[in-house]
Amino acid sequence: MLDTLIERIRAAHETHSPLIIQGGGSKTFYGNPDEGEVLGTRKFTGVVDYQPKELVLTARAGTPLAEIEALLAEQNQMLAFEPPHFVPLPNPLPLAGEGANDALCAPRPIYATLGGCIAAGLSGPRRPYAGAARDFVLGVRIIDGTGQPLRFGGQVIKNVAGYDVSRLMVGALGTLGLITEVSLKILPKPAAEITLQFELDEASAILKMNQWAGQPLPLSATSWHAGLLTVRLSGAASAVQVAQAKLGGEALHDASGFWQRLRDQATPFFDKRPLWRLAVKPTTPPLNLGDAQWIEWGGAVRWLASERPANTLREVAKTAGGHATLFRGDAPSDGTFSHSTKPASGQVAGYPHPSPRTGEGANVMPTAINDGVFTPLAPALATLHRALKQRFDPHGILNHGRLYPDF
Amino acid sequence: MAAQFDPAFLKTLQTLLPADSLLTAPEDTLPFESDGLSAYRSTPDVVALPENEAQVAAVLQLCHRHKVAVVARGAGTGLSAGALPVDGAVLLVLAKLNRIKAIDPLARTAVVEPGVRNLAISEAAAPHHLYYAPDPSSQIACSIGGNVAENSGGVHCLKYGLTVHNIINLRAWTIDGQLLEIGSESLDAPGYDLLALLTGSEGMLAVITEVTVKLLPRPERAQVVLAAFDDVAKAGAAVGNIIAAGVVPAGLEMMDKLAIHAAEAFVHAGYPLDCEALLLCEIDGVNEEVSADIYTVRDVLEASGATEIRTAESEEQRLKFWAGRKAAFPAVGRLAPDYYCMDGTIPRAQLPHVLKRISELSAEYGLAVANVFHAGDGNLHPLILFDANQPGELARAEAFGGKILELCVEVGGTITGEHGVGLEKIRQMCTQFAAPELTRFHDVKAAFDPDTLLNPGKAVPELHRCAEWGAMHVHDGQLAHPELPRF
């Protein structure tokens, strides 16, 4: 399978033919439109090594995230960055041998893979307190845009030999190479968790999130929406109880469901389009943009559906020390997590289609994203990005345009 | 000495810096001849000590125009000759950029210049009950710019991460004098993760003039457990057992017999002496969490066959337990005129095998070795004892050290966990990486610095040099010892 991937990329490199790398298709909505033939990684699966005592797991790119999480859970361990899956609950795992089936009539299940998780570099509610996807990446194997397999980093926690190319791949959206294998640092699951809710206005909630984060409290997630501050505490049972007594609030019963829905954006709030993600300095006061917001990450992320011009939102985010991303610019979801509005070629009508990208290079982005999905880079940084892209993918065949339209 | 520089270049350089910020007389530049690895020395011809960011940028632009190389240097505490002066290069010392520009207690960040000492950040944050987590053992002296350049760690890495996990924003300058603003005040930034790429890049890609670091709340409580073992392998297994029990210690350190005896003789920490290995396990956090974890750790240590287990009964005793570990290097230094500190990382399961091989190599090379180990994260610091005044001993120590690093790569580890490659381990880079990876490293360098003017000759070896050295990459399936169990 690895040889097939290498061959495909080598051939594409020689013929200057663009490729779209795709795993389980759960994050096709993310990024700028790109064009090319789909290069799937679904068949490249399997946990290569998992040593609970070393806190390290190595798996191939196509391995479903859910499968990895289930394996870790058996050992009371977890992916501490709580990666989003963006698929409906319960999360359907592909059947054995799935992925080999590209038959026209079979709807392909959508699921998050490890490769997509790392390429997108997205993290969930635990991120401000435990670290981001990039923080847990110890090593990667990739195939660069010339078809050259490469290995960076390793399976040990401390490693400063050579430039940190492994972490460079995280969030690069496959534009620097196809990730084929990833080694991650794993953490033990906390013994106990409790989620507390407080009725609070936005400004007070932002202040509380920041004040509490500066105290020795076992915080592991924070959220504010519609007048409700929600806080998760994780740790030894006694520690969580003491913190609960200190903070007060109402215990939330369906806590794991709450955080999972927030992680996967499976609440109606996130169905609105265009959905913007404003990353800001966590202490930034309410943005007063008039649109309803969902605040996460201790105040550092503000989600909103807004029709305001991209430039306006980007200026607001920049003033607040951060940046704005058009996270979902596609048409509103009908709740089935099928984000397509138009069947791609070869698609049988009536079946939910996982994504506009699964077809022959079809890629439909109904909402105008002329201003780009991601905040434009300063000229000096843009030059560096293009230079790096040029070195890893000289013919620009891998996910061309997905991160920034010109490369 | 500065004769090899174009007089026009030197004349312009003088106009860019205050008079006392440019050193060219050998008696002035001699103190900058080496970093913390003093076996490597070279007196720099020109030392520039800019006082602000504008001067840094101006010096870089001038050097770029004249194609003069630049070696950036912080406090000079590095241990891999990364800041070793290079012939014909300007040594750019950033020590004068030492202001703490801002501390934001609510956002838990500090904005600092590169010359600020690591410990000074925590001291400045202390009134807000906050601190900067990475704590390399040189933290009294080392500066944050160097920490970023080396991606420095410390004894608390397993729980709190390395420098790369604890910074959010950088201002850095490319060799052609362009400002790079990398990161953000939020938790991420658009585009490629250049923050990670620059961290640990050993002054090869850009020169840092400002760092925004994360500050953490001071743990409510810290407690340490000491355990003695009659067998190194048992101690190694105990480390894995602690982690398997779901505990993430703040620090988890191990010393072997020679290191224990040296430390005890030096600081009288109260260590048991009739053992083969000693573990120090520190738990920190919320009071109740610490209590719960300490019980777990004690149980695990007992089940793992510890011959003695002590929990520090007071803060004073806790500090004393640590004093022995923290003084281990100078303590070992008393056993011989010189010692050479290695910095490999290995999968922890390989510890017994690696220690056995090191002891075999020790006999082979006729040099004693003491082992100090950041056991939690697999970072091994064998200290090779030698006497530089004995002809050939330094070369033997270096050859022995090189073997240890190659051994680390063989068992699935790395040649450097936290000290960096610099000039010291550049040969072993040929062992750890194959030609295609080394080529990509040069490509990354070229994207930032096409004329290779920043710290030339360090960190990444030229491919033809690897061939000359005869070093061979240990490749999958072509390992020197295929019989070894591998992780």
- The domain that holds B167 is classified in CATH as 3.30.465.10
Residues B163 and B125 in one domain: yes
What pLDDT was estimated at residue A138?
Answer: 97
Same domain assignment for residues B309 and B382:
no
The reply to whether B403 and B456 lie within a common domain is yes
Interface of B with A in 228-247 (CB under 8 A): 240-241, 243-244, 246-247
- Picking from A161, A216, A384, the nearest residue to B447 by CB comes out as A384
Amino acid sitting at position A262: L
d(CA A206, CA A353): 39
Give contacts of A377 with chain B, Cβ < 8 Å: 190-191
| Pairwise CB contact (< 8 Å): A56 & B128 | no
Examine residue B352 and state whether it is found in any structural domain, yes or no.
yes
Judge whether A56 is closer than 8 Å to chain B, CB to CB. yes
Does A83 share its domain with A198? no
Please report residues of A whose CB lies closer than 8 A to that of B174. Answer: 380
For residue B425, list chain A residues with Cβ-Cβ distance below 8 A. 161
Residue B182: strand pairing partners = B170
DSSP string, B408-474: HHHTT-BS-SSS--TTTTHHHHHHHS-HHHHHHHHHHHHHH-TT--BSTTSSS--HHHHHHHT----
- The first and second tokens of residue A152, run together, are 């960076």
Closest approach of chain B CAs to the CA of A210, in angstroms? Answer: 6
Give residue A85's pLDDT. 96
- Segments of chain B scoring below 70 in pLDDT: 1-3, 471-487
Is the entire prediction scored with pTM above 0.90? yes
- Distance, CA of B146 to CA of B208 (rounded, Å): 9
Spatial CB neighbours of B179, under 8 Å, sequence gap ≥ 6: A380, B57, B171, B172, B173
Identify the domain containing residue A83 by its residue range: 2-188+377-392
Residue B479 lies in a domain: no
- Lowest model confidence (mean pLDDT) among A9-23, A122-136, A153-167, A324-338: A324-338
Q: CA dist A378 to A338, A384, B216, Å?
A: 35, 10, 30
Whether residue B436 contacts residue A148, with contact meaning beta carbons closer than 8 Å, is answered with: yes
What one-letter code names the amino acid at A317?
Answer: A
* Number of separate domains in chain A: 2
Q: Which of B32, B62, B93 is the last residue of a domain?
A: B93
Confidence at residue A353, expressed as pLDDT on a 0 to 100 scale? 36
* Contact between residue A230 and residue A195 where contact means Cβ atoms under 8 Å apart: yes
pLDDT of residue B469: 82
Listed in sequence order, the DSSP H helices in B152-283 are 157-160, 194-198, 232-244, 257-267
> Domain boundary at B330, B350, B375, which?
B330
The distance of B233 to chain A (nearest Cα, Å) reads: 15
pLDDT average, residue stretch A120-134: 98
Is residue A314 pLDDT above 50, yes or no?
A: yes
The whole-angstrom distance between B443's CA and the closest CA on chain A is: 6
Burial class (CB in 10 A: 0-12, 13-18, 19+), B155: buried
Instruction: Provide the pLDDT for residue A351.
Output: 31
Number of domains in chain B: 4
- Assess whether B340 and B459 both reside in one domain: yes
Domain identity same for A153 and A18: yes
Asked if residue B399 and residue B348 are part of one domain, the reply reads yes
Cβ of B97 under 8 Å from any chain A Cβ? no
Record: contact B108-A403, CB cut-off 8 A: no
Q: Say yes or no for a CB contact (<8 Å) between B347 and A156.
A: yes
Residues B109 and B175 in one domain: yes
Domain match, A174 and A246 both: no
Asked whether residue A283 falls in the same domain as residue A151, the answer is no
The span from the CA of A64 to the CA of B364, in Å, is: 49
Instruction: Say if residue A118 is in the same domain as residue A208.
Output: no
Alpha-carbon separation of residue B455 from A381, B25, B313, B351 (angstroms): 21, 22, 49, 34
Query: pLDDT at position A365, please?
Result: 43
Out of A155, A189, A301, closest to residue B347 by CB: A155
Is 90 exceeded by the pLDDT of residue A337?
Answer: no
Report whether B296 contacts B247 (CB < 8 A): yes
Residue A336 lies in a domain: no
Q: Is residue B478 part of a domain?
A: no
Interchain pair A188, B419: CB under 8 A: no
Task: Give residue B161's domain range.
Answer: 100-217
User: How many CA atoms, within 13 angstroms, populate the side-chain half-sphere of residue B65?
Assistant: 13
Closest chain A C-alpha to B125 CA, distance in angstroms: 11
- Tell me which residue of A129, A286, A141, A140 sits closest to A220, measured CA to CA: A129
- What distance in Å separates the CA atoms of residue B415 and residue B417, rounded to the nearest whole number? 7
Same domain membership, residue B304 and residue B418: no
Cβ–Cβ of A241/B288 closer than 8 Å? Answer: yes
B253 touches chain A (CB under 8 A): no
Q: Which CATH number do you get for residue B374?
A: 3.30.70.2740
B290 & B308 share domain: yes
Residue A333 has a pLDDT of 43
* A161's tokens: 């030999």
